[in-house]
Amino acid sequence: MHALSLLLATKLIVWHAYSGGEERALTQVVRDFHEQHPQGPQIEAVSVPYGSFADKLQAAIPRGHGPDLFIQAHDIVGQWSEGGLIEPLNGHLPVAEVLSTLWPETIAPLQVGDSLLGLPLSWKSLALFYRKDLVAEPPQTTAEVLRIGERLKASSPPNLRRYGLVYEAGNFFKHAALLHGFGGAIIPPGSAVPKLDTPEQLRALGFVSQLVQRGDLPEEMSAVLVTQFFNEGRAAMTINGPWFIAEIAPEVPYGVAPLPIVSETGKVAAPLTSIEAGFVSARSEHKTESAEFLRYLAGPASAKVRALLGRQSVSEKTTWQLPEVQGDPVLRAFFAQRAYIVPSPTHPAMRSFWEPGEQALRQVLRGAEPHEALRGAQRLLDQYLRPAPQTVQDKPYLVALSLAVLALCGWQYLRLRRRNVFGEAYRERGAYGYIVPALLAMLLLTLIPFLVGAGMSLFHRDLDGGWRFVGTENFRDILLCRGGGCFEPMSFYFTLLVTIVWTAVNVGFHLVIGGGLALLLRSPWLRLRGVYRMLLIVPWAVPNYITGLIWKGMFNRQFGAVNGLLVLLGIPPVSWFSHFSTALAANIATNVWLGFPFMMVVALGHLAQIPSELEEAAMLDGASRWQRLRHVVLPLLLPAMLPSVILGAVWTFNMFNVVFLVSGGEPDGATDILVSQAYRWAFTRGHRYGFAAAYAVLIFVILILQSALTRRLTDRR
């Protein structure tokens, strides 16, 4: 009977992005729920990668798929509410009774009007981590932080600089604590959208600029380097979240404290905070049962497990009264930080805010004036938030498209009929039958997705998730440079020029280096040629995203192997990603390393087909080695290499991984190529999918024109 009841019980799917202790805590909570409610619904917790969580939800729920409930940060609750993804809980739970046991600070971000869209489970905020062997007591003000840095600087060994505070200074989420400490806000009072060019933003950036000028911030700090500095004792303090605990080495004596007061204003540096909440899917078939499990998940029994096993700062009040929770110094510190947290804004325009904000930070970290950095970032933000294209009538476009398709089909029919292709196809119908599966695969996997993407370029996606037909407005915005100059970074024409230079230089180096190595490996006097060939193919065999990450580290300002070599040669280290020329050079060096083996292998194959008698005859006629190479080998090799050059040019033109992973478009998007620019418009600049699709269509047209031109040149040859 028990097995039968389990079989007939309602099954609820819960999506989450937890890992480590948090995932173990959720598993324990589900197990406890089943034991306490043997006749209740069966809960299945499904782990979904954090990076793709939101996209999977937005794709699955509108189509009636996906989870019954899910656990996610509150940041995009407004957008999802307008898009109809979230079911309000008011009609499924006694809201007043449930909320009475939860901290009010965690409830407000989940309310839209009179609707409660989710139940808060925990909050994740930043705090001050410090090493107890370097800092006796956590600092209370930023002035104390600076004094600790000065003391460590003065006592540092000659070859090992120590810092007071290190953090990801280019990350606006972490910089926002300083902004709030200087009295600012991402969405200032009286403004309907995020703003950057404000007096408070200027003061906060000025503080960062002073840290840079004093040498109190290491250059190009990433999350990995922050962890390394802290674990090695090169940094006494860092600003980080609860996830940082798992990265601290076991032997490091550390403590956690609330963020200090900004000495200039007397205000606490209040961090942006994510309220982690449970939401019920608007398309769930078991909304009431899902809401009841969500109530249990936010309740005291679950909160105790999540606090002690998952080390979460839970939203349930009574859990913080437990002796074992109060005795945890880390949880106690994050609880003290609760009084000074700022929930992340849920405004849909926040999707467009982060890139301009972090651009301003990076410019200041490179030595730019804060005022100029903020002015440029505000122009960029205004461009991202400019009014959307107007809706237009789709009937004229449908008529024009129908006429164009009919004309194309008629022209193609007459062309094939003149060549008597139909009769030949009927006679060879058996052979054509063999290629039908391949044609269907190409239709389903290539042609239909392309047509869908091309059609998307005629639409605009609003902030609430709705789509509107705008005709060719996206193309006009791109080609007419609306929102900026035509030859400013991030414009289409500037990016096209960078892409052409990037492609030409890379393919040139691929051909010269690959062909030169092939000629060397062809020489009969060279021993161990097979070993050399195998070793030289290795860069091509390694996945390019791994190579990109390796070269990114090699170009690091402080710890990169490239700068280490320059220092050995007596040359000052270079900040490779601070200038367009050096950042582009770093991208090109990485891609040349990836691409020359392909050209080498192709050239070796063609060289093997050149008859040796031709060179022997030239040698008997008195031709030198150089003359034989110039007048015999190269004239036969280069035409044969042309198809490989064309293929390499297409690959390089769309080489997204290297640009995205090595320079990341730095500085300020100047080294982006067309395909990476399209990606950013789709995913980091307000999810302007229609605009990005128009970019993709233009890239396709450019490649078609390039292929047609190359084909004509090949036919002439």
Q: From CA 598, how far away is CA 502, in angstroms rounded?
A: 18
Same domain, 326 and 355: no
Q: What is the pLDDT of residue 715?
A: 66
Same domain, 267 and 279: no
CB atoms within 10 A of CB 308: 19
Q: From CA 277, how far away is CA 344, in angstroms rounded?
A: 13
Residue 424 lies in a domain: no
Same domain, 510 and 566: yes
Q: From CA 458, how far away is CA 469, in angstroms rounded?
A: 6
Same domain, 88 and 210: no
CATH code assigned at 552: 1.10.3720.10
Same domain, 193 and 119: no
Provide the Cα torsion 213, 215, 219, 221; round to 10°. Answer: -110
Same domain, 68 and 132: no
Q: From CA 673, how far away is CA 325, in angstroms rounded?
A: 51
CATH code assigned at 52: 3.40.190.10
Residue 324 lies in a domain: yes
Residue where one domain finishes, among candidates 384, 413, 445: 384
Residue 302 lies in a domain: yes
| Full-model pTM | 0.84
Environment class of 374 (CB within 10 Å of its CB; exposed 0-12, middle 13-18, buried 19+): buried
Same domain, 8 and 52: yes
Whether the CB-CB separation of 204 and 181 falls below 8 Å is answered with yes
Q: From CA 387, how far away is CA 480, in angstroms rounded?
A: 16
Same domain, 28 and 156: no
Residue where one domain finishes, among candidates 343, 369, 399: 343
**SS3 for 140-169, per residue?**
CEHHHHHHHHHHHHHCCCCCCCCEEEECCC
Residue 40 lies in a domain: yes
Residue 708 lies in a domain: no
Q: What is the pLDDT of residue 461?
A: 82
Tokens at 712, concatenated: 């004509």
Q: From CA 682, how far away is CA 326, in angstroms rounded?
A: 45
With tokens 């040629």, the residue in question is 529
**Element at 693 (helix H, strand E):** helix 689-716
Characterize 99-126 residue by residue with b for buried, 16 or more Cβ atoms within 10 angstroms of its Cβ, and e for exposed. beebbebbbebbeeeeebbbbbbbbbbb
Residue 434 lies in a domain: no
Q: What is the pLDDT of residue 19?
A: 87
Residue 433 lies in a domain: no
Q: What is the pLDDT of residue 7?
A: 41
* Share of the chain residues as helix, strand and coil, in percent rounded to the nearest 5: 60, 10, 30
Radius of gyration in angstroms for the set of CA atoms belonging to the chain, rounded to a whole number: 31
618: containing domain: 492-685
The string of pLDDT tens digits covering residues 538-572 is 888 888 889 998 999 899 888 889 988 998 888 88
Spans of the chain below 70 pLDDT? 1-9, 422, 425, 463-465, 524, 713-717
Same domain, 268 and 279: no
CA distances for 669 relative to 209, 385, 663, angstroms: 22, 18, 9
Residue 451 lies in a domain: no
Same domain, 308 and 224: no
Q: What is the pLDDT of residue 512?
A: 92
CA distances for 348 relative to 84, 525, 604, 686, 692, angstroms: 14, 67, 55, 8, 18
Q: At what angle do helices 492-522 and 634-653 cross, to 10 degrees?
A: 140
Q: From CA 636, how far away is CA 716, in angstroms rounded?
A: 16
Q: Per the structure, how many domains does the chain have?
A: 3
Q: From CA 111, how far away is CA 453, in angstroms rounded?
A: 36
The string of pLDDT tens digits covering residues 590-648 is 999 999 999 998 888 888 888 877 877 888 777 777 887 787 888 888 888 888 888 88
Beta bridge partners of 272: 342
Same domain, 607 and 532: yes
Whether the CB-CB separation of 340 and 150 falls below 8 Å is answered with no
Same domain, 250 and 105: no
Q: From CA 214, how far away is CA 677, in angstroms rounded?
A: 35
